[in-house]
Amino acid sequence: MTSALQVFMLPDLGEGLTEAELLNWLVAVGDEIRVDQPIAEVETAKSVVEVPSPYAGTVTVLHGEPGQTLEVGKPFISVAPVGAPVPAAEAAAETYREEEKAGSGNVLIGYGTPGGSGATGRTRARRSSVAPRPDNGTTPPVPSDAEKAADDLLLLRTRVPGKLGAVISPLVRRMAREHGVDLGAVHGSGDSGLIMRRDVEAAISSPAPAAAGPAAVETPVSAQAPSPTPTPAAEGTDSRTGLGISARTPVKGVRKAVAANMARSRSEIPEATVWVDVDATAMVELRAGLKKSDPHKTPGLLAFIARFVTAGLKRFPELNTRIETTSEGSQEIVSFAGINLGFAAQTDRGLMVPSIRHADRLSARELDGEIRRLTAVVRDGKATPEELGSGTFTLNNYGIFGVDGSAAIINYPEVAILGVGRIMDKPWVLDGGLAVRKVTELTLTFDHRVCDGGTAAGFLRFVADAIENPGSVLADL
């Protein structure tokens, strides 16, 4: 039997992303939706995005709950096409299994599907009221069709992403209810993780945790005898330190991506670091003079340094590359016809690195405009995957945090990162005498596989010289 149910798989929302956290649904079961209508908000490792539907029709199943982390390529939403009868819960579940195996519905965002003439308004389906069952010890009545449908849809909506976990047989569901078996904790032995009768019978016959040895007995907190000191296994107490645990924060979203990226960078890249102190007085004075004459169009100091960096990368293109491993297992250094300059921006969601595309073509004023625009975008959580994942070199201004220097970790898969410390008054030898100058520290961390120290030092010295004598490089501002 061919069913009209369409299952939309969660697509890759960025450059190689494998998962996304579901923030909230914008539609509900029973709603009528149109092609490209936003159906949910999800948070990837890079940004918060709205996911549009490639199908028009009536929503039958939402495969996930807000707060869950969903896998790319797994079912996201099931839709009955416009004009087709909405399948009953049993048929919807069966069709879902068939189409999941076939891989149907895996349509990329923005492409849509033919037949997008669905209704544009949201129409919430009515929910049938189910009378409570009497608890008088008699044989429970046969569930109504409405009860079955509600039961099945609940099971499908609360299943674990990436696993079928659905129970199709009414007998199995009733057996689980009568014996108090939590189906969410049962591992299905059937095809695609289908929970079978034997699985529920095994759960019923398995000894309860309380029947285990004395060491495994868990007594409710209210029933425990008072103890002068907490035991190492007490809830909320760390067994190693003996201190109370104040919070547990899941590592997910941006923090999870940053952790994975930094760990991979440190494990794969043989990095080295060079640094130099720089007299930035001339650059600071130049900007101050420009600000007096035109306060609204004067670039920030970071834009000046970004302009020096792009000029330096043109002279030392080895630092604007990427190392890739071929299918045969050999490595290649990939060079680029242009520079996408990333810069670190601190946000409420963590450290983000948006990139200025074709930064080598921009003047200092244009770079300043892009820095301001991208900073606002990432702080609002609206940056696109292209704006966050396309950098070829990163500039990190950690001086805004009031620190002098740092050996930064390379933003994998790039091969170098330049850090800029705070600009502060320091004694400096100038023309044979001491003077108070505006001094900053530049730190370059680079991948030793793509170049040697001479290239890294040459680039760093070029940027330092440009900061000390900015006029020539900033001729176009």
Q: Which residues are catalytic?
A: 448
Dist. CA 67–CA 42, nearest whole Å = 9
First to last CA, the chain: 68
Dist. CA 25–CA 59, nearest whole Å = 12
Nearest to 474 by CA among 283, 281, 278: 283
HSE of 239, CA atoms in CB hemisphere, 13 A: 4
Extended beta strands in 327-375, E state: 331-335, 341-343, 345-347, 350-352, 355-356
Nearest to 321 by CA among 201, 210, 450: 450
Helix, strand, coil abundance in the chain, percent, nearest 5: 30, 20, 45
* Strand, coil or helix: 76: strand
Non-local (6+) Cβ contacts of 111 within 8 A are 54
Instruction: Quote the Cα angle for 315-316-320, to 5°.
Output: 120
Cβ-based burial of 475 (10 A; exposed 0-12, middle 13-18, buried ≥19): exposed
